[in-house]
Amino acid sequence: MADVRRLVVKVGSSLVTADGRGLDTAALANWAAQIAALVREGRQVVLVSSGAIAEGMQRLGWATRPSAVHDLQAAAAVGQMGLVQAYERCFAGHGLIAAQVLLTHEDLADRQRYLNARSTLTTLLELGVVPIINENDTVATDEIRFGDNDTLGALVTNLIEADLLVILTDQPGLYTADPRKDAAATLVRDAQAGDPALEAMAGGAGSGVGTGGMLTKVLAARRAARSGADTVIASGRHEQVLTQVLANAPVGTWLRAATAPMAARKQWLADHLQTRGSLVLDDGAARALAEGGKSLLAVGVRMTTGEFERGEVVDCREANGRLIARGLVNYSASETRRIMGRASAEIEGVLGYVNEPELIHRDNLVVL
């Protein structure tokens, strides 16, 4: 695919660590060789690699993945040393410089840090460097963890406006059902990212080595599609899988973006994994947002949950709880509770002042 200039490649823990038994240096060398070939073709590649915690577990002699956050952080701190050193050696063998970039959700939830991360990554790519990204597990907590590197790969895809996300796993791709339980299951070759039927096919979680499963990969494809990127889910053990994918070979499952790319600011809003609260809308306000491209007015809000300040990101939900939009709110939670259900002309009389006539302006709102 000559039109794919920039891509994100995500490699799962089971591939990088030989199903959890320490780093598979031969596999890392294989990824480096394939990525080097793509770089020589003039493409820019970001590698999102799992494996730090699994490598740390191996070094620490732990047989099972711990559940306590501080144990996971300790394993990540130990494992990152081995992971990045191994990748650096592999890429150096092809004359390439690698860079380690560790991210948390907070880095992408804050607009300024989001822009800083974007600038750093695009600069590295223009310099011909291969960024190797992982979640910063050494400082992450349950509240700010991405939860899996499939999601992280999609967020990075949106961040740098990549053309393609390739998620490499230990399965050939997405099946119509779990092939371990259903002999009639068939491989899905081509589908539209975001199709609800795909989530039903994906089922539950995967191995005990990582935290992702096929469902997280399908959801990652839906997220990547927001910036117009296609996603390929394929086996990392397939011979020359990356070059095969870029050559349009029938490899894995191709999930295609059906929508035009979002503006960068609205991508950022859509990519918030944790928000500060929710606004429950009446039917008219929900239709105005979803179908009319309108701003959200206080009169259309029936209920608010959570504690948020002006300028923070909140969810907009229908009465049944379905998430329909996300945006930057112009009033705090306490202010919103006082003015919800009221017309814009009444705000000053209730609060004694007016920040904005809209609760969320349409320029600061994205429909999901």
Q: How far is CA 17 from CA 13, 179, 209, 232, in A?
A: 6, 24, 9, 22
Please give the pLDDT value at position 131: 98
Q: Does domain 275-367 have CATH number 2.30.130.10?
A: yes
Domain 6-262, CATH 3.40.50.2300 — does that match?
A: no
What confidence score (pLDDT) does residue 21 get? 67
Q: What pLDDT, on a 0 to 100 scale, did the predictor assign at position 144? A: 41
Residue appearing with tokens 């891509």? 7
Predicted pLDDT at 140: 60
pLDDT in tens, the chain (368 residues): 668 999 999 998 888 886 656 789 999 999 999 999 999 999 999 999 988 888 888 899 998 888 888 888 888 899 999 999 999 999 999 999 999 999 887 788 888 888 889 999 999 999 999 999 988 766 665 444 565 789 899 999 999 999 999 999 988 999 988 787 888 889 999 999 988 889 888 874 443 334 447 888 999 999 999 888 999 999 998 999 999 999 989 999 999 998 778 777 788 888 887 788 999 999 999 999 988 889 999 999 999 999 998 888 999 999 999 999 999 999 999 999 999 999 999 999 999 999 889 999 988 899 98
* CA distances in angstroms from 209 to 13, 64, 170, 177, 205, listed in the order given: 6, 8, 12, 22, 11
Tell me the two tokens of residue 359: 């609760």
Do domains 6-262 and 275-367 share one topology? The answer is no
SS3 sequence of 265-326: HHHHHHCCCCCCEEEEECHHHHHHHHCCCCCECHHHEEEEEECCCCCCEEEEECCCCCEEEE
Domain boundaries, the chain: 6-262, 275-367
Whole-angstrom distance, CA of residue 197 vs CA of residue 224 = 17
* Closest among 8, 6, 92, 9 to 42, alpha carbons compared: 6
φ, ψ at 227 (rounded to 5°): -100, 15
